[in-house]
């Protein structure tokens, strides 16, 4: 391996160590917002169905 390939591989490893947790953190936040929204939609539709009417979706 030439010195540039070794340097590039080392730089890639260091970058991945810093970026991968940020990527998973962003993905986790997105999933939490998505499931929170779905939960609130289901809760409001369930309460609307027990009241006897279906509300208009925004």
30 domain-assigned:
yes
Query: What's the predicted TM-score (pTM) here?
Result: 0.57
Mean pLDDT, the chain, as a whole number? 83
Round to whole Å and give the CA distance between 44 and 5. 57
35 domain-assigned:
yes
Round to whole Å and give the CA distance between 16 and 10. 10
Mean pLDDT of 5-25: 90
CA dihedral 26→31→33→38, nearest 10 degrees, is: 170
Mean pLDDT of 2-29: 90
Domain carrying residue 7: 1-43
56 close to 45: Cβ distance less than 8 angstroms: no
| Structure tokens that stand for 53 in this block | 């009417």
Structural domains in the chain (count): 1
52 domain-assigned:
no
CA dihedral 20→23→25→29, nearest 10 degrees, is: -170
């Amino acid at each position: 391996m030439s010195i540039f390939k070794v340097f590039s591989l080392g730089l890639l490893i260091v970058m991945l160590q810093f970026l991968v947790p940020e990527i998973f953190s962003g993905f986790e936040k997105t999933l939490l917002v998505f499931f929170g929204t779905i939960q609130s939609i289901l809760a409001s539709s369930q309460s609307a169905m027990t009241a006897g009417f279906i509300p208009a979706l925004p």
